[in-house]
Structure 1
Amino acid sequence: MSAGGRFTVALIGASGLLGRAVAAELASAPGAEEWRIVRTARSRADAQSVKLDLLDHEAVRAFLRELAPDAIVVAAAERRPDICENDPALARALNVEALSVIASEARSLGAWVLSISTDYVFDGAAPPYLPDDAPAPLNAYGQSKLDGERALLAGDPASCVLRLPLLYGPFTEWNESAVTSLTSAIVKCADPANPPASMDAWATRYPTFTPDVAVVIRGMLEHHAKGATISGITQWSGDEPMTKFDIARRIARVLNVDAKLVAQRTPTDATPRPRDCHLDSGRLEALGIGRRTPFDVAIAGLLARYPDVSSQ
């Protein structure tokens, strides 16, 4: 272990929705004093983080060589499907090429890499999906993340991929998650002067709370720290199936508003999305890793932290 016997973790993308939850969990967990967490961010770097642009490969190499971490958690990515569809070169640069650089450097340093991937590597036709089921992405985002998985594991076979579905959690902007981004339309359509809001009732999602994922990641890091490294493909998912229409109804119930919601039962997104990519979490569950907060409990606690919903 580096840094005077402490276990050093480079948290890449610490300012994002998931990165912030992981940083908070690692800072507050039992035995946190034995960990050294070095956070990086690009556009939202602050006094607690190192500014790092993953597109600057030499800067990435220099950062990792100077830090010499025991583990690297990669939570940074281009995760917006429409952006990836319209700019596949950018998606590849962030989701594949940068990860390949990190994998190569990590292997030479002897650092373990845990990289976040997505359920969108599957086409959604035959859930639930096991980690070794054949991927078949429907869009550029899913393809770029799949290519990133392969680049990581080819460059560093001891590394690990953690596939996740739709995430939500403590946010800095309502649209940071596709779950909380629904709030604006829910509030507006509850006003009798406004028309109903159409919500997708075609695709089944498994919203997963970022503080729960942070517990999963901490458990995986703890396994590595004690010499029980987890390699290859892993997955974690919430276990409550719901469409965006279902999610919107639950949010409306928490807000105690009479939202006029219309179920849209055919896909309307310009970028193709899978219908049901339920991820099997059995590999991590068998290791005693994991936590699931019921959606209604999590969303109620989350919205209570942001009382000025009417401004949406």
Structure 2
Amino acid sequence: MFKVAVIGASGLLGRALVDELAQQADWQVVSTAFRRAGPSRVALDIRDEQAVGQFIEREAPDALVIAAAERRPDICENDPALARALNVDAVRTLAAAAGQRGAWVLSISTDYVFDGTHPPYRHDALPAPLNAYGRSKLEGERALTETIELGCVLRLPLLYGPTVDWAESAVTSLVPAIAASASDSPDVKAATMDAWAIRYPTFTPDVAFVIRQMLERRARGEAIRGIVQWSGDEPMTKYEIAIRLAEALQLEARLTPQHTPTDATPRPHNCHLDSSRLEALGIGRRTPFDTAIRQVLAKFPWQGGGGVGPA
């Protein structure tokens, strides 16, 4: 029996990963959450070193996937202590505890470790983060590699997937503004969308599939170590994402492109991640954006979506 612990299983990526791993008949999955614990999720505050140690000792997983993090750039910028506690210190604590049990640890990182000036970025490219979020995740990568030999970092770009809340992803968070701009009222203005930063939206079920393939290698005794990356391959700005969302929702949205950066927290221009290290191992899956986003929208509980829904 191969046992996997998913840390942060209630989040956007964590839920997709648990769904993917549940299909493995001979695997055991134990899930943790902080605020959204329940019958299927163990309550765990990863900032509590003693609680982490007790959890690892009790569950004795063969592999640990750290999907918990503070991923909101503005929050990280305004509260660097929180960002460090979740993105750096907790990673070190989890890795140390797992290392004592001989578990393989996979920690999720971000394309924001790069400044976005010279894409595409290989896994061994020199990081140069522009904001506190990117810096904290880079420090988290180092915390893992310095703490445990049997570990791996998986860098990912902008994620979207089955969601319980529009705000869970920077992709679906655009929907309310798109819907509002489609109003027939003459008082409603067009929605302004960023047309400067280039992103590579990546479907969480595809990432979960990739992680499952990585876990299979660990189960066979062929653990991947160091740094790997996975990314969707369709470049688009938020303005272009919004156009495709409007098409999927069958809304006549009024959208205005914003060609200069306006975020208070600096964001990189183009952090396209090179996925060749995983591809060379035969690992990977990419669902076309238009196909995937329709799956996401079809599953959203529209009754709670502020009246937004397919025409």
Q: TM-score range by the shorter chain?
A: over 0.9
Match of 1:229 among 211, 223, 231: 223
Q: Which runs of 4+ in 1 moved over 2 A?
A: 306-310
Secondary structure of the corresponding residue to residue 311 of structure 1: coil
- Residue of structure 2 equivalent to 1:16: 11
Match of 1:262 in 2: 256
Instruction: Give the distance between the partners of 1:307 and 1:81, measured in 2 at CA.
Output: 27
- 2:265 aligned with 1:244: no
Q: Does 1:215 align with 2:215?
A: no
User: Is 1:295 aligned to residue 282 of structure 2?
Assistant: no
Shift of 1:258: 1.0
| SS of residue paired to 2:223 | coil
1:36-68 deviation digits (Å, cap 9, x = unpaired): 000000000010010000111110011001111
- Give how far 1:307 is off: 6.7
Residue 93 (structure 2) pairs with residue 101 (structure 1) = yes
Q: Does structure 1 residue 311 correspond to structure 2 residue 307?
A: yes
Confirm or deny: 8 A CA contact 1:9 1:38 kept in the other structure. yes
Taking the aligned partners of 1:107 and 1:299, their CA distance within structure 2 comes to 38
Q: How many angstroms apart in 2 are the aligned matches of 1:41 and 1:104?
A: 19
Structure 2 runs not aligned, ≥5 long: none
For the Cα contact (< 8 Å) 1:103–1:155, is it kept in 2?
yes
Q: Answer yes or no: is the 8 Å Cα contact 2:152–2:227 preserved in 1.
A: yes
Query: Structure 1: any 5+ residue segments left out of the alignment?
Result: 1-5
Does the 8 Å CA contact 1:7/1:225 hold for their aligned counterparts? yes
Give the TM-score, by structure 1 length. 0.96
Q: Secondary structure at the match of 1:163?
A: strand
**Which of 171, 174, 180 is the equivalent residue of 2:163?**
171
Following superposition of structure 1 onto structure 2, how do residues 14-163 of structure 1 map, counting pairs within 5 Å? 14-28=9-23, 32-163=24-155
| CA offset digits 1:106-129 (Å, max 9, x no partner) | 221100000000000000000000
Alpha-carbon separation, structure 1, partners of 2:301 and 2:22:
26
Three-state SS of the structure 2 residue aligned to 1:133 is: coil
SS in 1 for 2:75: helix
Q: Please say if residues 54 and 94 of structure 1, whose CA atoms lie closer than 8 Å, have aligned partners that are also in contact.
A: yes
8 Å Cα contact 2:163/2:300 also seen in 1:
no
Counterpart-to-counterpart distance in 1, 2:148 and 2:113? 20
1:310–1:61: structure 2 CA closer, same or farther, 3 Å change rule?
closer
Specify the code of the residue in structure 1 equivalent to 2:20. E
Q: What amino acid is aligned across from residue 214 of structure 2 in structure 1? A: M
Any idea what SS the aligned residue of 2:116 has?
coil
CA distance in structure 2 between the aligned counterparts of 1:234 and 1:267, rounded to whole angstroms: 29
**How far did residue 168 of structure 1 move?**
0.2
Aligned-partner residue type, residue 160 of structure 2: Y
Aligned to 1:202: 196
1:310 Cα deviation (Å)?
6.1
**Structure 1 CA distance, aligned partners of 2:199 and 2:21?**
28
After superposition, what is the alpha-carbon deviation per residue over 1:59-110, rounded to whole angstroms, capped at 9, x for unaligned? 0011001111100000000000000000000000000001111111122110
By how many angstroms is 1:33 displaced?
A: 2.0
1:160 alignment partner, SS class: strand
Report SS of the residue matched to 1:254: helix
Please give the root-mean-square deviation of Cα atoms over the aligned residues, in Å: 0.9
Conserved? CA contact 2:46–2:94, under 8 Å: no
Aligned residue identity for 1:311: G
Which amino acid counterpart does residue 18 of structure 2 have in structure 1? A
Query: Residue type matched to 1:103 in 2?
Result: A
Q: Which amino acid aligns with 1:234?
A: V
User: CA–CA distance in 2 between the matches of 1:307 and 1:170?
Assistant: 10
- What SS is found at the alignment partner of 2:28? strand
CA contact (8 A) 1:71 1:112 kept: yes
For 1:304 and 1:223, locate their aligned partners in 2 and report how far apart those are by CA, in whole Å: 33
Give the corresponding residue for 1:3: none
Indicate conservation of the 8 Å contact 1:187/1:310, yes or no: no
User: What is the rounded CA distance, in whole Å, between the counterparts of 2:223 and 2:193 in structure 1?
Assistant: 42
Q: How many residues align?
A: 304
Change (3 A) 1:288 1:255: same
